[in-house]
């Protein structure tokens, strides 16, 4: 039997990779997680799943794969995974925002592969089309509605992957941090706080923490980082409405569970992000907190001065072309999975792709869209 495959990171990606590797082979699969399953970026994710426009063809293909798998998992779950389809509504309150929504709608409508259905509203048309008594529509210039949009509880979904992987024989070494990659030019093992472990192939699936281990073997990934602040507040009404995103400010909100509302903030794409993997603050910075709460109250007036029950800050990984980086690297025996803030949606496809590459030496048909070699100056060691 071939040697051990190691996976660094016990979030949804690491658990997905372990699930696919263990169900498709009899190889020993070990996941190293310094805390517990889904302890970091997975747990701090908004958990959105569904088409929301502005996506690449590769993104859509990977997402379809993920939605199919989630439908399979959630129809017969081994754990309790909360999920809900609520629709997504983008709102623009300026002429520039309206033009951007128009452009997104046209691009979606013209996609030959079917990028997801959407409905565009301009002026006061939304007020005569959707029942939204809790939403302030007075300043809305335009809106774009995505009906096939929802969310999952991300940590619970990661636990579902992990449970299935364990049943197939995968091992999860929680409380075990990988501190170094062993080998010169070829991965031979990892060093952990508990000692060294021989490894034939290693997958980096630790989100923003991939960077430190990758750089230790001379691998510089084209990834930048952006913080992802979030607040969980009490919902005073409990009335249903879609996920709301304010186009101009980047503030978004969706109803959560137990009469609470999840508030978040998109802070820009790759070109606005930082190269440094910055330290993640324990709490949302006061000025960001104020900005999120003020904009949320303008969107849903009942949320003015809400009771904040929890808050946290995650970290988004971002790529230059908005596609994930999944697969081999130019370090023999080392693969990587990182995303453009799409880990929940693309984790199933990442597990599928990586397992086929590692077990069958199959690049997969998604290869050109996800390989690091698509970027100038990068290679994955494969023959051209």
The pLDDT value recorded for residue 51 is 81
306 shares a domain with 163: no
Full residue range of the structural domain in which residue 314 is found? 86-150+224-318
The per-residue pLDDT of the chain, averaged, comes to 93
Q: Are residues 247 and 294 in the same domain?
A: yes
CATH value at residue 237: 3.30.9.10
Residues 212 and 228 in one domain: no
Same domain, 100 and 140: yes
Kindly report the number of other CB atoms within 10 A of residue 23's CB atom.
16
Are 196 and 228 contained in the same domain?
A: no
Residue 325: band (very low, low, confident or very high) from pLDDT cuts 50, 70, 90: very high
d(CA 5, CA 62): 24
Note the pLDDT tens digit of each residue in 25-48. Answer: 999 999 999 999 999 899 999 999
252 inside domain: yes
Instruction: Let me know whether 143 and 234 are in one domain.
Output: yes
Q: Starting at the earlier edge strand, list the strands of the sheet with 178-182.
A: 178-182, 189-192, 195-198
Same domain, 145 and 158: no
In a domain, 382, yes or no: no
**Lowest mean pLDDT across 11-20, 48-57, 360-369:** 48-57
Q: Is residue 144 domain-shared with residue 244, that is, in the same domain?
A: yes
Tokens, residue 230: 């979030």
Q: What is the pLDDT of residue 237?
A: 85
Of 298, 318, 338, which residue is a domain's last? 318
Residue 383 is assigned to a structural domain of this protein = no
Q: What's the domain count of the chain?
A: 2
* pLDDT value, residue 52: 76
Q: Would residue 55 count as lying in a domain?
A: no
What's the angle, vertex CA 124, arms to CA 120 and CA 127, rounded to 5?
85
pLDDT of residue 35: 96
- pLDDT confidence of 79, banded at 50, 70, 90? confident
125 and 41 in a common domain? no
In the predicted structure, residue 383 carries a pLDDT above the cut 90: no
- In terms of domains, do 312 and 357 share one? no
Q: Are residues 216 and 231 in the same domain?
A: no
> If pLDDT is split at 50, 70 and 90, which confidence band does 112 have?
low
Q: Given pLDDT bands bounded at 50, 70 and 90, which one contains residue 114? A: low
The answer to whether residue 116 is domain-embedded is: yes
Q: Same domain, yes or no, for 143 and 290?
A: yes
- Which residue, of 290, 318, 346, is where some domain finishes? 318
Q: Given this model, what pLDDT does residue 380 score?
A: 95
In which band, very low, low, confident or very high, does the pLDDT at 277 lie, cut at 50, 70 and 90? low
7 bridge partner residues: 31, 203
**Contact by Cβ (8 Å): 256, 232:** yes
**What is the pTM assigned to this prediction?**
0.95
């Amino acid at each position: 039997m071939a040697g051990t495959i190691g996976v660094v990171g016990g979030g949804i990606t690491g658990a997905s990779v372990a699930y696919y590797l263990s169900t498709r082979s009899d190889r020993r699969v070990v996941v190293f997680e310094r805390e517990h399953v889904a302890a970091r970026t997975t747990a701090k994710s908004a958990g959105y799943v569904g088409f929301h426009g502005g996506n690449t063809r590769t993104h859509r293909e990977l997402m379809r794969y993920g939605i199919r798998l989630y439908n399979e998992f959630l129809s017969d779950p081994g754990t309790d995974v909360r999920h809900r389809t609520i629709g997504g509504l983008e709102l623009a309150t300026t002429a520039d925002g309206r033009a951007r929504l128009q452009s997104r709608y046209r691009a979606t409508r013209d996609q030959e592969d079917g990028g997801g259905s959407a409905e565009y509203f301009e002026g006061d048309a939304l007020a005569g089309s959707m029942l939204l008594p809790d939403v302030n529509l007075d300043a809305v210039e335009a809106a774009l509605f995505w009906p096939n949009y929802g969310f999952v509880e991300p940590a619970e979904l990661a636990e579902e992957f992990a449970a299935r992987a364990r049943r197939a024989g995968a091992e999860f070494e929680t409380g075990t941090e990988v501190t170094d990659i062993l080998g010169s030019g070829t991965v031979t093992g990892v060093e952990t706080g508990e000692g060294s472990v021989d490894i034939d192939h290693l997958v980096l699936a630790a989100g923003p923490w991939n960077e430190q281990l990758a750089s230790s073997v001379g691998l510089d990934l084209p990834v930048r980082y952006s913080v992802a602040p979030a607040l969980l507040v009490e919902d005073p009404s409990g009335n249903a409405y879609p996920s709301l995103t304010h186009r101009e400010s980047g503030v978004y909100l969706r109803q959560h569970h137990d009469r609470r509302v999840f508030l978040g903030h998109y802070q820009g794409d790759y070109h606005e992000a930082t190269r440094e993997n910055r330290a993640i603050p324990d709490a949302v910075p006061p000025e960001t907190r104020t900005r999120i709460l003020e904009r949320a109250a303008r969107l849903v007036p009942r949320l003015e001065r809400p009771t904040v029950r929890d808050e946290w800050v995650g970290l988004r990984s971002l790529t230059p072309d908005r596609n994930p980086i999944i697969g081999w690297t130019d370090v023999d025996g080392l693969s990587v999975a990182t995303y453009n803030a799409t880990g929940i949606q693309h984790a199933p496809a990442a597990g599928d792709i990586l397992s086929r590459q590692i077990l069958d030496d199959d690049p997969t048909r998604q290869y050109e869209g996800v390989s690091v070699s698509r970027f100038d100056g990068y290679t994955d060691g494969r023959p051209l």
